[in-house]
Amino acid sequence: MTNRVPDRAGRHELAIRRMGIDTYNEPIVYLRRDSAVCRAEGFEAQARIRLSTQRKSIIATLNVVSAELLDQNEAGLSEAAWRLLSPVDGEHAHAAHPEPVHSLSAVRGKIHGEMLGAGAIGEIVRDVAAGRYSPVETAAFLTACAGERMSHAETVALTRAMLSEGRRLSWPKTPIVDKHCIGGLPGNRTTPMVVAIVAAAGLVIPKTSSRAITSPAGTADTMEVLTPVELDLAAMQRVVEKEGGCLVWGGGIGISPVDDILIRIERLLDFDSDGQLAASVLSKKAAAGSTHVVIDMPVGPTAKVRSAAQAARLSRLMTEVGAEVGLCVEVLQTDGTAPVGRGIGPALEARDVLQVLQCESGAPLDLRARSIALAAAVLEMGGRAPPGAGSGLAAQLLDSGQAWSKFQAICAAQGGLRTPPRAAFQRVFEAPAGGRLSAIDNRRLARIAKLSGAPKAPAAGVELHVALGSAIERGQPLLTLHAESRGALDYAAEFAEEGGMALTIEA
Amino acid sequence: MTNRVPDRAGRHELAIRRMGIDTYNEPIVYLRRDSAVCRAEGFEAQARIRLSTQRKSIIATLNVVSAELLDQNEAGLSEAAWRLLSPVDGEHAHAAHPEPVHSLSAVRGKIHGEMLGAGAIGEIVRDVAAGRYSPVETAAFLTACAGERMSHAETVALTRAMLSEGRRLSWPKTPIVDKHCIGGLPGNRTTPMVVAIVAAAGLVIPKTSSRAITSPAGTADTMEVLTPVELDLAAMQRVVEKEGGCLVWGGGIGISPVDDILIRIERLLDFDSDGQLAASVLSKKAAAGSTHVVIDMPVGPTAKVRSAAQAARLSRLMTEVGAEVGLCVEVLQTDGTAPVGRGIGPALEARDVLQVLQCESGAPLDLRARSIALAAAVLEMGGRAPPGAGSGLAAQLLDSGQAWSKFQAICAAQGGLRTPPRAAFQRVFEAPAGGRLSAIDNRRLARIAKLSGAPKAPAAGVELHVALGSAIERGQPLLTLHAESRGALDYAAEFAEEGGMALTIEA
């Protein structure tokens, strides 16, 4: 029953309608300008609004609708609002002004130079997790904490607060090892090898990975062309129990609900905050139950970490904060100047991974070398090799086929090993002139791969045939575009032809 | 002609549709998830997108639509996007990734503690004015500048940059005087008296005012029940030429396009930034062509300025920055603890204004006293009275009826003096017990006035019958609710009854 007059508490009953509008993770509520609730409560566009059913309540941003999109007594929900409120059929809601968010005074204090106590940080993180912060409020919090304005104590408190939101995994034995890469480098897909090598050595590595948000492939996207990755917690635990390792998508496990919200706004703002980064990575690793973590930190002029000084500062921060939350952390600074391997795109990267694991003669050496270096660090941290001997052990596990066997077993446990798809449409680009390959524009290469259809079209992407610094002959193949449709191929090819192929050849 | 395949430049032609969704001043573009442009460009919800016609181009935030709200080759526009792109009938658009906003690197530098140069500040303000900043980016800029992180030089540069965006008025003679109130106090409607008094004294005061955004009435809303206020620049100039003063809505003049964008985000964040506030007020006053400005600064525990130290700091900043942009500024610190006058709501406040101007015996003394004090400061600054004599002159101009005559003449020039409407529905609330009125909750009073319908229903609001500190007898009328409909009256009354009437009576 709908009812346009207020009930005893002055609340207007609203029928709920799913609008089919995706605003990513920002809940939006749509109301008619001439609805009783807008008129009575004085709601205006972009106001914050609390919408409640008998079972649930959310805070959202209001968009005011003047046209025929809604009935006068309806509340429309964006996809995020729909997920959060999860109304049952025929359920009604009422709208109200939200109570003030108390922790925002702590954020205002921080903006004015005060330090945040652990209690205030806990409250902020709980409010962010509950969706009480609007995007601009979240941006203000992140900005107030950026630029080295977070103390060591604040970073530790933030890590602990993020850790206490969401699920925390525990495992029957220690050590639990893990690896993490800070800042994407196209093709830097070392995780499958590291997991296979260290699990083959008998260590436990319950690895969760993310999907691409702005890049042509995340580790989860690459692994998905090889095996199912959307496992729930119970299935993931069974795989780890059986094989000592897994390679699953982290989104299904629910260990870092706050992190997704903060990272999204940080991406929009495109700025680095060492404290935030440390808290984000370390809280996720601790929540996954890890005890020993190796961090791959690519350093280069277009990488996330750009200078040796920043690398040193961030490494120290991560090591120290890690220790405070019970994590043994080791940071490996790596070359961040050029892509790794040959493929950019889920299936093309999976082919590189398989070549390295199967020790094919043509396997990309840079990907192999990085994988061995990272696995070595994990093996030494986890006590499987004495200092300096990790590298030899990692190479031996790879060359003997033990890592490949372990990888196959993990994939079998996750639901079966698949053969990566091949793109139906390909186009080769040849060198217009000879010379030396003096620069690679990583961002442009990633853009071309995305225009080809990656990561949604898993076979799509860019295959690089030449390495930075190598001599190029006129007419030599430089790269191949892969696409799943003729249209996408033409589109990416046209973009590559018009603006250049992201490769600089010096005569 | 619509065309779903890319043109030579890889651009997909899109038909434009007005969605009828009001997102205040944030331009939103809606595209189908399965549209060619989303698939080819890899656009995701909340991405920034450039939408261009042959004549215009905007940057907007993308919302992805999955349902039947749009055709596959349509681009939907929010109201703000529609205003900015202002498409002609049948015009098509194409979508692209926006080029990076260069001035955001300066914002990132500021976040990391660098100073902003005048050139960088100019670039930021131009980009904000052009709509190139998303709300979260604007929030990051404001946060990075808050908490006394703006130097004197940066504040001056920001004031100048805001001044150079938008229109700047000039007047044939000097001085041009003005007054401004920082931070709302319910009922503090001194502007009509100040303008009438100083114009009666022969000074030129081209006053622009704003409408309510979150309060029950702005000065423009109150003046609108007395006379037309939506004058364009030419009409405003004619009024000022004829009468020496005006009382118009500033939104029609177009002198501060950036300020509206920044203030909106500041309101959402609810924090003060002295530098931003100074730049906002002073750039608007300088753009209006003023040379001498008196600032009313209410100081109190729930006012915008809360302490004597903050008041002193902000007063000094405004005076010094004003001098650098050619403005003579004087700040009057006033009592910010209680509402002024009796009415809260456009027509009720207009009645207070008329009573003071007409020197009725029952006119609210506090409103009269404040008006005289502010007018006195303007008269002394403008050279119409020697120091210390402004107050006497102001009182004399008011008591002699000269101010009231001037006010009537200004209203006549603006289109005619109107009689404020009276609300059809009223309800009196009486004191449930005797005692002393020890506290007034300004925010709650404002809320009740808004629930009654103010400012959209101009006759609606709250009429206060008692003053802070006065003795109250049981059964004495405390306040009267005014509403234009029975429903609104019941709604506001129910709210007032359930949660208390915002007045504390101590036995």
Closest CA to B338 of B223, B471, B503: B503
Contact B42 A5 (CB under 8 A): no
Q: How many whole angstroms separate alpha carbon B433 and alpha carbon B472?
A: 8
Tens-digit pLDDT profile for residues A92-117: 999 987 877 899 999 999 998 899 99
Measured between CB atoms, does B42 come within 8 Å of chain A? yes
Burial class, B415, CB count within 10 angstroms (exposed 0-12 / middle 13-18 / buried 19+): middle
Residue B457 CA neighbour count, 13 Å, CB half: 27
CA distance A191 to B92: 46
- Closest chain B C-alpha to A484 CA, distance in angstroms: 12
CA distance B105 to chain A (A): 9
- In single-letter form, the type of residue at position B507 comes to A
Where do we find the tokens 């809604």?
A70
CB B244 within 8 A of CB B203: yes
List of chain A residues whose C-beta atoms are within 8 Å of the C-beta of residue B3: none
Chain B residues close to A142, C-beta within 8 Å: 140
Q: Which residues lie closer than 8 Å to A436 by C-beta, 6 or more apart?
A: A469, A470, A471, A472, A505, A506
Answer whether B10 sits within 8 Å of A494, measured CB to CB: yes
Would the pTM of this model clear 0.90, i.e. be above it?
A: no
CA distance A471 to chain B (A): 32
- B222-249, pLDDT tens digit by residue? 999 999 999 999 999 999 999 999 999 9
Cβ atoms B134, A268 nearer than 8 A: yes
Give backbone dihedrals phi and psi of A506, rounded to 5 degrees, phi first: -95, 130
CB contact under 8 A, B270 and A135: no
B168: helix, strand or coil: coil
pLDDT above 90 (res B300): no
Whether residues A66 and B20 touch (CB distance < 8 A) is answered with yes
Whether A270 contacts chain B with CB within 8 A:
yes
Closest residue of chain A to B11, computed from CA coordinates: A491
Instruction: List the one residue out of B285, B289, B270, B273 whose CA is nearest residue B319.
Output: B285
A-to-B residue pairs, Cβ atoms closer than 8 angstroms: 180
**Taking CA atoms, what residue in A is nearest to B138?**
A136
CB < 8 Å to B79, chain A = 66
Q: Tell me which residue in A46, A67, A495 faces B26 most closely, judged by beta carbons.
A: A46
Concatenated DSSP letters of B355-377: HHHTT-TTS-HHHHHHHHHHHHH
Q: How far is CA A493 from each of CA A215, A429, A458, B35, B42, rounded to the nearest angstrom?
A: 19, 9, 18, 20, 16
Structural contact between residues A29 and A81, judged by C-beta atoms closer than 8 angstroms: yes
Interchain proximity B40–A488, CB inside 8 Å: yes
Which chain A residues contact residue B67 at CB under 8 A? 18-21
Strand order in the sheet with B461-464: B343-344, B461-464, B477-483, B425-430
In the predicted structure, residue B54 carries a pLDDT above the cut 70: yes
List residues of B with catalytic annotation: 272
Name the token pair of A248: 């699953």
- Residue B11 pLDDT level (bands cut at 50, 70, 90): low
Q: What does the pLDDT profile of chain A (507 residues) look like in tens digits?
A: 333 344 444 567 899 999 999 998 889 999 998 888 887 676 888 888 999 999 999 999 999 998 778 999 999 999 999 999 999 988 999 998 787 789 999 999 999 889 999 999 999 999 999 889 999 999 999 999 998 899 999 999 999 999 998 888 999 989 999 999 987 678 889 999 999 999 999 999 999 998 887 788 999 999 999 999 999 999 999 999 999 999 999 887 877 788 888 888 887 887 768 899 999 999 999 999 999 999 999 998 767 788 899 899 999 999 999 999 999 999 999 998 888 999 999 999 999 999 999 999 999 999 999 999 999 999 999 999 999 999 999 999 999 999 999 999 999 999 999 999 999 999 999 998 999 999 888 878 888 998 898 988 999 999 999 988 999 999 999 999 999 988 889 888 988 887 676 888 888
If DSSP codes are grouped into helix, strand and coil, which group holds residue B325? coil
Cα–Cα distance, A229 to B399 (Å, whole number): 83
**How far, CA to CA in Å, does B204 sit from each of A31, B171, B342, B375, B390?**
45, 9, 30, 13, 16
CB proximity A142 to B under 8 Å: yes
Q: Please, what is the Cα angle at B199 between B194 and B205, to 5 degrees?
A: 75
What are the structure tokens assigned to B35, written together?
């549209």
Please judge whether A24 and B44 are an interchain contact, meaning their C-beta atoms are less than 8 angstroms apart: yes
Does the beta carbon of B96 lie under 8 angstroms from any beta carbon of chain A? no
> Above 50 in pLDDT, residue B485?
yes
Chain A residues within an 8 Å CB radius of B346: none
For residue A450, list chain B residues with Cβ-Cβ distance below 8 A: 42
- Sheet strands side by side (includes A343-344): A343-344, A461-464, A477-483, A425-430
Average pLDDT over residues B466-486: 93
B82 vs A: CB within 8 A:
no
Q: How far apart are the CA of B132 and the nearest CA of chain A, in angstroms?
A: 13
Does B41 sit within 8 Å of A451, measured CB to CB?
Answer: yes
